[in-house]
Amino acid sequence: MTTSPALANTREELNGLLASARRDGRRVGFVPTMGALHEGHASLMREAARHADVVVVSIFVNPMQFAPTEDLDRYPRTLPDDLELCATEGVAVVFAPAVAEMYAGGFSHESVRDGVTVHPGRLATILDGASRPGHFDGVLTVVAKLFGLVRPDVAVFGQKDYQQLALIRAMVRDLCLPVEIVGAETVREADGLAMSSRNRYLDPAQRAAATVLNRALRAAQERAAYGVPAARWAAMSVLKAEPEIELDYLALTGVDLGEPPEHGEGRILVAARLGSTRLIDNMRIHLTTPAGTPSGGSTTEEGSSRCCAR
């Protein structure tokens, strides 16, 4: 029999529910989410439980990380189902605040510009940051707010959002925040598609086409022993064969999202649209450059004009 998590909608309720854990010195683990939970989120909760005594999950669709033209209004809200999944995973507390609880007086992009926010720096200007200006300002600002409210000892984030994970780690380091950040492996469907709340937007044809992202990344992994250009070419060849997708970017980087090494661990990342739905994915990649093979060339391909225009 599962026990339902305690539900807090205000910071006062949250403080009351966590008071005994803090008083007793129990470690608090935290999983921030926007709801519409699935097995990928459940894996983050299980990872948090391995590092902490009490697990808190937040469910908050953060308006600051959506541009006015993005899918804030249609982002799925499934709180009853989310609470059931949290109960199954033994979550102690779910924090589901209203917008006015997180942004005093409500939210507007104009009001946020007049307030105090977190500026994410240069790393937020590439990849997803280039495609979604201001997105990571919203992510880091709300995560900083949630850290201040929950005061976790450890917080768990998925590696599917790899750039987000890198920026949160940088924020914690640069602002001296007393929380350990754990990056959990991406959870995938049986056909390799990375689990995402946005997958439910895909129609059957788009859902089938979406597997090209996983296949492209794996193709790059298989050719990584032949160097950066070969790995990138292998991934692009797979992407070009799928007419349903509109490529946003394909990038081969170092683990810090800088230049890829000639030898060693890197990251390959992709973002693409299927209809109005934007999906991202990434994988680690081990690069080598065979003797006599040049290693130059751009690390990023962008835009539907170069690949898979619909």
Rounded distance between C-alpha atoms, residue 8 and residue 212, angstroms: 40
3-state secondary structure of 180: strand
Q: Do residues 262 and 289 lie in contact, with contact meaning Cβ atoms separated by under 8 Å?
A: yes
Active site residues: 41
Element (H, E) at 285: strand 277-287
List helix spans (H) across the chain. Answer: 11-24, 39-51, 79-88, 99-102, 109-113, 128-131, 135-150, 162-174, 204-209, 212-223, 228-240
Q: Do residues 79 and 59 lie in contact, with contact meaning Cβ atoms separated by under 8 Å?
A: yes
Pairing assessment for the beta strands 54-59 and 28-33 based on DSSP bridges: parallel
